[in-house]
Amino acid sequence: METSLHDNLPIASQGASSLDSRSAEVPFPTFMRKIPPLQYGSLSLKTRFLLAPLAGYTNLPFRRIVRELGGVGLATTDLVNARGLLTENPGSTFLISTAPDDSPLSVQIFGNEPSVMAEAAQYLEARGYASIDINMGCPVDRITKGGAGASMMCRVDQTIGLVQCVVEAVRIPVTVKMRLGWDETQLTAPRFAREFEQVGVAAITIHGRTRAQGFSGTVDRDGIRQVVAAVDRIPVIGNGDIRSIADAERMFRETGCQGIAIGRGALANPWFFRQLSEWETTGTVTPPGGFDDRLSLLHRQFLHLEELLGAHKAVSSFRKMGHWYLKSMRVRSALRHQFQMSKTKPELLASLEMIRQTGPAQGDRHGTLDDMHIPVPAGPNERW
């Protein structure tokens, strides 16, 4: 009789609540021992827990602090315009900024011209990036109207031709990140996955929603499972709404994926990758950091940003992310306001010091922080 990857998992005895990422003891996921280590072509990844791109947030400073905490197998840049890379447009060049502690790094490119995409991939290979990811999931009109992002899921032959052209242009692994399809009537992901494997794509990340869904509704794990079933050898990475160890366990168990990519959950809990890695290897998960730890992360992230942008720009560009952090840390609104109003590095650091001395408005400074609400583009895709 054939055994499945998941035969050893006592599903019934594992209630979701007992697998919450905040509890110190979680059942050892025996079934995961049977999942092979994650390999993108010739690139071996240290863990199967990957940071998904969140344009505007998962930038170099954020990647560095998450990687410092441990457990990240691979991170990917924001989507970068392939043509912008080749013309060395400052915005595109900024997006591929990296550092020695930001490795392995995949650069995600978008575009609709095979030769430009292939040349952009060669440009990146020559500069030492570990992997290239092709964006086929972005639902935003600005990207899809130009024939890139999720709209590639509507043109089978052209898209396969483009992906093949990129794969053949470089030796480093080329991967694709896509959604389940354009809408529920066109669930093309399994077909694309099969074809991509044939042309040499090294792995596929699949966000379990359609383009029409945007970020609404729930992730369709059965749709992800069908993508896993469609390929023979290459790893499929499950993605969408993974915020706790229970969510991760469900994604692996129900889809058969070999890895998971986490976007918003990483902003909410940068310790999540370390916890997942502990869960997979020992079954004992250390709690995420508390108030003081989060504040020190915030400080370090700012310093990394300053290194990249200089103090003046770093202060203004850190306000949005800093504000979210402080809200989930239950920092009093007057202190949050002071932080938001900072115009210089000394003002920003003084406001952080005041926050440190005052502590949270409710709860103690050592307890687990509230879950963070991450805003997503809402409303019709056209208006994002």
Ligand X SMILES: Cc1cc2nc3c(=O)[nH]c(=O)nc-3n(C[C@H](O)[C@H](O)[C@H](O)COP(=O)(O)O)c2cc1C
Question: One of 138, 154, 165, 257 is an active-site residue; which one?
Answer: 138
CA proximity to 158, closest of 129, 122, 101, 117? 117
Question: 277 or 342: whose CB is closer to ligand X?
Answer: 277
Residues 186, 209 contacting (CB under 8 angstroms): no
Q: Please tell me the distance from the alpha carbon of residue 240 to that of residue 262, in angstroms, as a whole number.
A: 7
Q: Work out how close the CB of 164 gets to ligand X at its nearest, in angstroms, rounded to a whole number.
A: 20
Question: 291 or 325: whose CB is closer to ligand X?
Answer: 325
Q: 143: helix, coil or strand?
A: helix
The residue with its CB nearest to ligand X is 263
Pairing of strands 74-81, 105-110: parallel
Question: 301 or 338: whose CB is closer to ligand X?
Answer: 301
Q: Is the peptide bond before 104 cis (omega within 30 degrees of 0)?
A: yes
Q: Please tell me the distance from the alpha carbon of residue 363 to that of residue 360, in angstroms, as a whole number.
A: 7
Question: 65 or 242: whose CB is closer to ligand X?
Answer: 242
Is 138 marked active-site? Answer: yes
Q: Work out how close the CB of 162 gets to ligand X at its nearest, in angstroms, rounded to a whole number.
A: 16
* Residues in a beta bridge with 284: 25
Q: Work out how close the CB of 252 gets to ligand X at its nearest, in angstroms, rounded to a whole number.
A: 15
Q: Work out how close the CB of 67 gets to ligand X at its nearest, in angstroms, rounded to a whole number.
A: 17
Q: Is 105 exposed, middle or buried (0-12, 13-18, 19+ CB in 10 A)?
A: buried
Q: Which amino acid is at 61?
A: P
Residues 77, 92 contacting (CB under 8 angstroms): no
Q: Work out how close the CB of 318 gets to ligand X at its nearest, in angstroms, rounded to a whole number.
A: 17
Question: 77 or 338: whose CB is closer to ligand X?
Answer: 77
Contacts with ligand X, residue ranges (CB under 6 A): 52-55, 78-79, 108, 135, 137-138, 177, 207, 239-242, 262-265, 376
Quick one: CA dihedral 81, 86, 90, 93, positive or negative?
positive
Residues 270, 57 contacting (CB under 8 angstroms): no
- Enumerate the active-site residues: 138
